[in-house]
Structure 1
Amino acid sequence: MNKQWVLPAPAYMHYVCYPEFIGHYSDFPQHAERRSEGLLNSYNLHLVFAGEGYVFQEGERIPMGRGRGFLFPKGAYQQYGADPNHPWEVRWIHFGTSIPLPLLEEVDQSRGYFFTFDPDAGLIPVFEEMYRLSESFETSCEPRFSALLYEILITLLQNSEPLHGSVPLEIRHSIRRTADMIRRECERPWTLETMAKLAGYSSYHFLRLFRSIMGKTPNRYLTECRLARAKLLLASTSLSISHVALESGFRQSSYFIKVFKQVEGIPPNQYRRAFSS
């Protein structure tokens, strides 16, 4: 199968990101590309969902199988292709951006970014919607194209790791599952030790992993979750401030009021007056 679509340049020129050329190849053993430096003035993302292929980078042949991908910056030399005997199923996008994006900052400083990703992270339905929109393109779909591409990039940011990265995807999933549990049950008397035990790591190792993967310490994350619950309760219930504090995991209402004001800039009762219905 060899499907590809070229999209017209968008009428609105300030999308955060926008696809230019998209495709889906499988059972296509002839797929091979070699582009000289400076030829392609857009980012080039390929994700492998089955089969085998390769990328050449600085004389090294890097194998590409299920759960591997590559992203070339603008103007980079590119050489890659399917394994003729076991051709890959690959979904790909050439795209541009109007502002710097987190995933692309490292790419822009390199000749190519090679990574592993989670093929079951929900990317396929996003690609499929993009293909359906491409079949009967209308200018009214431009915002959706931009949103779908942004979703793909952010999903990869959260569910990928450099090929020689120090944090395997399984550990990333473990930390994120723990974070979800903490958020759902933020009223519990969590400590660093109990959070680490839930994840199955020592406190030191858990702190380092959590900060690396979530971008903040476990205690900061817990406080943010508790404040989010408190704001919902303030806006949607008539519970007293002390009860809101307890329901949100703060054992002392005075400490809750202090933290709330530090973060939100106003005390809880003023927040309630501004946002309650």
Structure 2
Amino acid sequence: MKKQWVLPTPSFNKYVCYPEFLGHYTDFPQHTERRGEGFLNSYNLHLIFGGEGYVFHDGERIQMGKGRGFIYPRGAYQQYGSDPSEPWDVRWIHFKTEISLPLLEEVDQSRGSFFTFDLGTGLESIFDEMYRLSANYETHSEPRLSALLYEVLGTLLQNSEPLHGSVPMEVRRSIRSAADVIHGACERPWTLDSMARLSGYSNYHFLRLFRVIMGKTPNRFLTDCRLARAKLLLVSSELSVAQIAQGAGFSQSSYFIKVFKEVEGMPPNQYRRAFGS
């Protein structure tokens, strides 16, 4: 199967990112590309959901199978293709951006990024919606197409790892799963030990991995979750500040007020007056 769509230049020229050319190939063993330096003036993203293929980079042939992907920056030399005996199931997009995006900064510097990604993060359904909108293109679909592409890039930012990276995908899933439990029960009296047990790692390794994957310490993440819950209670309930502090997991209302003011720049009662209905 070979499906592909070319989109017209969008009427609004300030989208963060926008697809130009996209497609989905399965059972297409003839899929091979070799583009010279400067030929393609857009980013080129490929995600493999099945089968086998390859890329050539710096003279090295890199095997690309299920759960792997690559991004080439604008103007880069590109050479890749499907394995003729086991053609890959590949979803791809050529796109442009108007601003620098975190995922693409390293791509620009390295002249190509090759990575593994988590197959369980809903990327296929995002692509399927992009394909439906592209097949039945209408101008009012442009904002959604831009948003879907940004969602793909954001999902990969959180759920991918360089092929030779130090944190395997199963470790990332374990840490993010622990973070979701902590967020959902932030009122509990969490300690580093109880949080680490969620992932099965020692306190030391949990702390190190959490910092790398979540971009903050477990305690900072817990505090952020508690503050978010407290802010919702402030604007949506008539509970007292002391009751809200307890319901959000702060052991003392005085400490809650201190932390809230440091982060929000105002005490809880002032926040309630400013944002409460």
Q: TM-score, normalising length from structure 1?
A: 0.99
Would you say 1:144 and 2:148 are equivalent positions? no
Cα RMSD (Å) = 0.7
Quick one: distance in 1 between partners of 2:2 and 2:8? Answer: 20
Q: Give secondary structure in 1 for the equivalent of 2:110.
A: coil
Aligned 1:198-209 pairs, distance under 5 A: 198-209=198-209
Aligned letter for 2:160? S
Tell me by how many angstroms 1:111 deviates. Answer: 1.8
Cα deviation code 1:67-88 (max 9, x no counterpart)? 0000001100000000001000
**Correspondence for 2:251:** 251
Cα deviation code 1:182-217 (max 9, x no counterpart)? 111111111112111222111111111000000011
Tell me by how many angstroms 1:274 deviates. Answer: 1.5
Cα deviation code 1:42-92 (max 9, x no counterpart)? 000000001010001111110111000000011000000000010001000
Aligned letter for 1:89? D
**Correspondence for 1:237:** 237
Tell me by how many angstroms 1:155 deviates. Answer: 0.7
**Correspondence for 1:194:** 194
Quick one: distance in 2 between partners of 1:264 and 1:111? Answer: 41
Tell me by how many angstroms 1:158 deviates. Answer: 1.0
Quick one: distance in 1 between partners of 2:195 and 2:134? Answer: 45
**Correspondence for 2:37:** 37
**Correspondence for 2:25:** 25
**Correspondence for 1:160:** 160
**Correspondence for 2:3:** 3
Cα deviation code 1:135-164 (max 9, x no counterpart)? 121111110110000000011111110000
Tell me by how many angstroms 1:120 deviates. Answer: 2.2
Cα deviation code 1:90-123 (max 9, x no counterpart)? 0000000000111001001012100001122101
Larger deviation: 228-237 or 193-202? 193-202
Larger deviation: 266-275 or 221-230? 266-275
Aligned letter for 1:76? A
Aligned letter for 1:240? S
Q: Give secondary structure in 1 for the equivalent of 2:62.
A: strand
**Correspondence for 1:183:** 183
Would you say 1:111 and 2:111 are equivalent positions? yes
Aligned letter for 2:216? K
Quick one: distance in 1 between partners of 2:69 and 2:18? Answer: 19
Quick one: distance in 2 between partners of 1:44 and 1:61? Answer: 18
Q: Give secondary structure in 2 for the equivalent of 1:109.
A: helix
Q: Give secondary structure in 2 for the equivalent of 1:53.
A: strand
Would you say 1:51 and 2:20 are equivalent positions? no
Quick one: distance in 2 between partners of 1:276 and 1:35? Answer: 57
* Structure 1 runs, 4 residues or longer, greater than 6 Å off: none
Percent identical residues: 73
Quick one: distance in 1 between partners of 2:84 and 2:4? Answer: 20
Q: TM-score, normalising length from structure 2?
A: 0.99
**Correspondence for 1:130:** 130
Aligned length: 277
Unpaired stretches in structure 1, ≥5 consecutive residues? none
Aligned 1:259-270 pairs, distance under 5 A: 259-270=259-270
